[in-house]
């Protein structure tokens, strides 16, 4: 039912022939240099989605840190996974109902550990400033205006160093405004993946445990799109990393960036 609903929505929204250009012909890509994507920064030893976690991801040798973007009630971008403040800060309530100053006054570290007391919720500007010249950023867009996000990326000269994840309608808007940015829709199923490829010609497609399957993987390969896959939880281990690589993954999102980087170096698959 989900597959049919999403497919029909995409078809009706993006369904004119001019917009749905065919994917570019396949060309040879280097699938042996694997990107290490540090999920919410290095968050096993640092509060997630904070500057400390992002710096630790850089120090671990990751190629990307992943972050989650939300918008405050006064139109500022802040970094937080949840729609509410409760789990990761000493505040409560929905992010979008609070001003930037209200969120900035909260403590985003003390619930993780007293050692991180006083940690602030970062802005997207701060994350990009830290990343520039050091690491790429995987932008998981929870709630953001497409033009504002693009303007922020470009103002920090990060347009060649981001992938943008989010719902397909948001990504389509980003693609229409600035086609050269790397939008990264979730593959979902073979049929939906084909719609997304025709609509946006993505350079990379996202996968998780539910859609990292042969038919859906084949869609990315036929479109000459890179495959970035989540290997989190019980799947975050060398055996499962290698299986993902064997199936065609060129990026792995992990909670263990240092360990994955070491594994890739040991097998001559590290990007740097």
Alpha helices (runs of H) in 105-188, residue ranges in sequence order = 124-131, 146-155, 168-177
Smallest CA-to-CA distance from 253 within 170, 165, 147, 194 is with 165
pLDDT of residue 10: 55
What are the beta bridge partners of residue 70? 78
Let me know if 73 is exposed, middle or buried by CB neighbors in 10 A (0-12, 13-18, 19+): middle
- Residue of 39, 43, 46, 175 with catalytic role: 39
> Domain holding 114: CATH number?
3.20.20.190
Note the pTM of the prediction, 2 decimals: 0.90
Within a domain: 38? yes
Residue 128, in any domain of the structure = yes
β-bridge mates for residue 228, sequence order: 206, 251
DSSP 3-state of 124? helix
CA distances from 242 to 102, 219, 236, 267 (A): 44, 20, 10, 10
Query: Are the beta carbons of 63 and 271 closer than 8 angstroms?
Result: yes
Dist. CA 39–CA 33, nearest whole Å: 19
The range of the structural domain enclosing residue 34 comes to: 30-266
Answer yes or no: is 160 within a domain. yes
Q: What's the DSSP call for residue 115?
A: G
**Number of domains comprising the chain:** 1
- Count, residues in the chain: 272
Catalytic status, residue 81:
yes
Indicate whether 247 belongs to any domain. Answer: yes
Q: d(Cα 166, Cα 144) in Å, to the nearest integer?
A: 10
What's the pLDDT at 32?
Answer: 81
Residue 68 pLDDT: 98
Single out the catalytic residue among 46, 81, 98, 161. 81
Residues of the chain with pLDDT under 70: 1-31
């Amino acid at each position: 039912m989900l597959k049919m609903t999403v497919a029909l929505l995409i078809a009706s929204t993006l369904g004119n022939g001019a917009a749905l250009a065919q994917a570019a012909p396949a060309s040879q890509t280097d699938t042996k240099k694997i990107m290490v994507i540090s999920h919410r920064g290095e968050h096993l030893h640092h509060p997630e989605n904070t500057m400390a976690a992002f710096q630790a991801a850089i120090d671990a040798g990751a190629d990307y840190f992943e972050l989650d973007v939300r918008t405050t009630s006064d139109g500022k971008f802040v970094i937080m996974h949840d729609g509410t403040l409760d789990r990761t800060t000493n505040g409560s309530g929905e992010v979008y109902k609070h001003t930037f100053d209200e969120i900035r006054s909260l403590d985003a570290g003390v619930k993780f550990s007293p050692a991180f007391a006083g940690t602030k919720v970062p802005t997207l500007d701060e994350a990009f400033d830290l990343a520039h010249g050091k690491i790429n950023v995987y932008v998981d867009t929870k709630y953001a205006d497409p033009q504002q996000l693009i303007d922020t990326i470009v103002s920090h000269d990060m347009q060649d160093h981001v992938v943008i994840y989010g719902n397909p309608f948001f990504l389509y808007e980003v693609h229409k405004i600035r086609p050269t940015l790397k939008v990264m829709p979730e593959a979902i199923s073979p049929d939906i993946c084909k719609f997304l490829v025709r609509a946006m010609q993505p350079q990379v497609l996202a996968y998780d445990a539910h859609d990292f399957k042969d038919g859906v993987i084949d869609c990315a390969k036929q479109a000459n799109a890179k495959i970035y896959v989540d290997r989190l939880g019980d799947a975050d281990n060398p055996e499962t990393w290698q299986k993902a690589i064997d199936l065609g993954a060129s990026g792995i999102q992990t909670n263990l960036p240092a360990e994955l980087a070491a594994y890739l170096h040991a097998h001559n698959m590290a990007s740097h």
